[in-house]
Amino acid sequence: MRDAGLLDGDIAVVERNAPASPGDVVVAVVDGDLTVKYLRRSQDRYFLQAANPDFADIHPKGSLEILGVVIGSFRRMRR
């Protein structure tokens, strides 16, 4: 989610069970895999889009479960 400002090692603040809308950054389980992506909608189907052009869109083959909506993030300055 580099282009959304979420970098490797950042900590995301997630509101669980929040209603998600297209355009939200969500934590989702897609066909059994956990991911953080933009929620998008095309016609009558939802899919997930990365904020990094190096990664392809994810179109669920079976299941898509939204666990929560990312409402913030922070970066550790010292490890």
- Residues 2-55: pLDDT tens digits? 778 888 889 999 999 889 999 999 999 999 999 999 999 998 899 999 998 899
Map tokens 């950054």 to a residue: 25
pTM for this entry: 0.88
Residue 35: C-alpha distances to residues 41, 63, 77 (Å): 17, 13, 24
Per-residue pLDDT reduced to its tens digit, 44-78: 899 999 998 899 999 999 999 999 999 999 998 77
Domains of the chain by residue range:
2-74
In CATH terms, the fold of domain 2-74 is: Umud Fragment, subunit A (2.10.109)
| Alpha-carbon gap, residue 66 to 78, rounded angstroms | 31
